[in-house]
Every structure is written in C-alpha cells, then in structure tokens.
Amino acid sequence: MQAAGFHLAASFPLAALQEPHLQGWMDAGYAGELEWMQRHARTRSNPVAAFPRTKTVTVGLFEFGAPEALPPNEARIAHYAQGTDYHLVIKDMLRVAAAQLVAQVPGVWTRTFVDADPLNEKRCAELAGLGFIGKHTNLIVPDRGSWCFLGLLLTSLVVEDSPPPQPERCGSCTACLDICPTKAFPQPFVLDARRCISYLSIELRGVIPRELRALMGSWIFGCDLCLDVCPWNRFARQTEAGPFAPRPVLRQDLPQWLRLTAEEFDVVFRDSAMLRTGWRAFMRNVLVACGNQDDATLYEMVLPWSKHPDALLRLHAHWALGRLAPAEARLWQQECANAETDAAVLEELQLTLKETA
C-alpha cells in the first residue's frame, strides 16, 4: 500500500469488524436523510456474510495535511474538498495497490472501497491499529492528526490476528464538542448528523431547518471546526502541492459565488468533491452564508434570487434578505407574499415578516 502512495497501511481480519452501536444510532434518527446508511445497514451488521470471499481488510491512510493559514474568508469550504475529489485519487491508488498485490500473489481476490461504500473506513482504521476515534467521531492518528483520507483493500488473503487497538486519548478535552455552533454532538463520540453543518450543506438537498441557518456562519460546503480545534492536529504537516492542494478558483467571496451559473458550476467543480451538492443546493448554501454576514451591501445581490423560479432558492433568499436589511426587505416581501404560490416559501415569508414587524 505504501508503494502505491499511502503514508500508512495496516490490516485486520474482516471477522473482527463489528459496529454494535450502529443500529441504535440510526434508530435515534441521527442519520437524518442519509438513505444509503439504511441501505447498507444489513451489510454493516454482518460484513462476513456480505463479503464471503474477503478474509482481510487492509486500510490505506493518506495524510493530505493541515490547511494553510489564510486570511478570513466570508465563504468557507471544508479543507478536504478544496482539491481534486479524493474518491478519484484514492480509488486510483487502491487500484495500483491491488495490482501490485496480484502481481506478488497470483490468484488473490481483491476489491477496493472509498468512502460511500458499505463499510465504515474510520472503524476499519481503528481496528487496524492506525488510530482511535475521537469525541468528534473522526479518526485521530496520534502523530499525524485527522487530516487524512482512507481507502480499503479487501482481499482473500488470511491474517491471523488483529493488531492491538490504540487507546482512546481524548482525555478530558471537549474542544471539538464546545466549538460546534449547531450542537451536533448530543454526547461525546455521538454525532447527530441532522445538526451537523457538513450534513446540512452537503447531504441535505431540501430546506435547511430555520433554527440552524444562522448557526452555519460562512460555511458553503462542509465544516472544519471540530478538526481545527483538535489538539492532536498540531502534529499534522502542512498541505503540499499535489492533487489535494487547494484550487485558487475556490477562493472566491460570496458576491462572486452569487454570480455562479449552473453551467459554470460543472466547470469550476470538475473532478471536485463539491460536485456532490449540485448547483441548486450549493447556491442555497451561498444564500444562507449571505444572510449570516453583517454586510448590507449584499442585499442588492441577493434580491434577484428572491424572484428565482426555484422555490428552494427563493425561500433561502427571502430569509437572507430579512437578515441583511430587514426594514428595506419588508415592503418587497409583503408584495412577494401576496403573489407567492409555494406553501413553504409563503410560510418563510410570513415568519420573516413577523420577525421584522
């Protein structure tokens, strides 16, 4: 695996993979609209039955590095998504590793997974002894931190024992829990995805809950807050040039993003993980970020979005207008309410008008 480009790699028997808390987490509703979690629940509850040819899981870890210090930007994008889509890069690295193994052991069976597949990479990395799961539910590698991508290579090779697990070493630190503005951690080591800014800005495609919008700040894709404050990340190296280096085109401010068309979205985010949201949800996020700025000059730029044909975008634009310049927006929103035909947008208008009365 290291010959294929991974910084660390370790293996464990598939039979050791268990997730005893998964069903309870889903039953609590913490998965939100992550339908793929439900689809993969049976596989994750009995991976040996789901992958009968697999005996061993090898976990490859690639450290993409801590973000460089940049001036504050009013449009924030999670660090992992600022370069080339890691699914593409890590998948290619896994294919190289699989080919190298087959060359060494003819006849061996292999299969590769990256992220959105039915095995939990973080749990696998923990079982492989690469690190421990922190209170923010992310993997922590003691001498590297958490700015890492993971890939899985399943094989028919047999390993006898699992490596010893690393002890959980968060101690009394609660920095990651305390900084979360939406309070997405009901308790340490438990994430309520429905309140997580990453979920809200990426996985949720519809209306962002009204009570959470003002808590999302300037994040337009993902969130790094719980990783930024983790003391273990002081050991992370800085991001180097390569596929995961931040693309300069992504360092734009909110007025620039407000001008982005659907056609331009596909060009700007080619080979980027940010394609996942689609233009519609991305612009929804930008409008919410606008509403969280103390900058009334954004009002005129957001105003046309309140007349957009897409009800989802109209709704979030009206919310933003009501926060950017409530007095100026009130008369316009009264006119819009009289003509609005979408029930959700009309409800948003009524709530906004009530708040600015």
- Name the pLDDT band for 45 (thresholds 50, 70, 90): confident
From 206, 227, 245, give the residue that closes a domain. Answer: 245
Which whole number is the average pLDDT over 108-112? 97
Judgement on whether residues 141 and 241 belong to the same structural domain of the protein: yes
Provide the pLDDT for residue 116. 67
Which helix (H) or strand (E) is 251 found in, with range? none
Closest CA to 333 of 206, 281, 343, 320: 320
Q: Per-residue b/e over 180-207, b at no fewer than 16 CB within 10 Å? A: bebebbeeeeebbbbbbbbbbbbbbeeb
Provide the pLDDT for residue 160. 77
Judgement on whether residues 225 and 338 belong to the same structural domain of the protein: no
Judgement on whether residues 7 and 28 belong to the same structural domain of the protein: yes
Provide the pLDDT for residue 254. 96
Provide the pLDDT for residue 27. 93
From 190, 220, 245, give the residue that closes a domain. Answer: 245
Judgement on whether residues 217 and 305 belong to the same structural domain of the protein: no
Judgement on whether residues 284 and 256 belong to the same structural domain of the protein: yes
Judgement on whether residues 172 and 52 belong to the same structural domain of the protein: yes
Judgement on whether residues 258 and 283 belong to the same structural domain of the protein: yes
Judgement on whether residues 19 and 104 belong to the same structural domain of the protein: yes
Judgement on whether residues 209 and 274 belong to the same structural domain of the protein: no
User: What proportion of the chain, given as a percentage, has pLDDT over 70?
Assistant: 98
Judgement on whether residues 200 and 281 belong to the same structural domain of the protein: no
Provide the pLDDT for residue 72. 67
Which whole number is the average pLDDT over 205-220? 97
- Say which residue, 160 or 63, is predicted with more confidence: 63
Predicted TM-score (pTM) of this structure:
0.95
Distance CA 299, CA 352 (A): 15
> Per DSSP, what are the bridge partners of residue 153?
58, 112
Number of domains in the chain: 2
pLDDT tens sequence across 118-177: 899 999 999 999 999 999 999 999 999 999 999 999 999 998 777 888 999 999 999 999
pLDDT tens sequence across 331-357: 999 999 999 999 999 999 999 999 887
Distances (CA, A) of 325 to 218, 220, 292: 18, 21, 12
Residue 52 clears pLDDT 70, i.e. is over it: yes
Judgement on whether residues 216 and 342 belong to the same structural domain of the protein: no
The count of residues in the chain is 357
Judgement on whether residues 175 and 106 belong to the same structural domain of the protein: yes
Residue 71 clears pLDDT 70, i.e. is over it: no
Provide the pLDDT for residue 20. 87
Which helix (H) or strand (E) is 220 found in, with range? strand 219-221
> Is residue 311 within 8 Å of 340, Cβ to Cβ?
no
Least confident span in 20-34, 89-103, 309-323, 337-351:
20-34
What is the set of active-site residues? 115
Which whole number is the average pLDDT over 77-102? 96
pLDDT tens sequence across 250-302: 989 999 999 999 999 999 999 999 999 999 999 999 999 999 999 999 999 99
Mean pLDDT of the residues in the chain: 94
* Residues 6+ positions from 35 with CB-CB distance below 8 Å: none
Find the domain containing 352 and state its range: 252-357
From 189, 224, 245, give the residue that closes a domain. Answer: 245
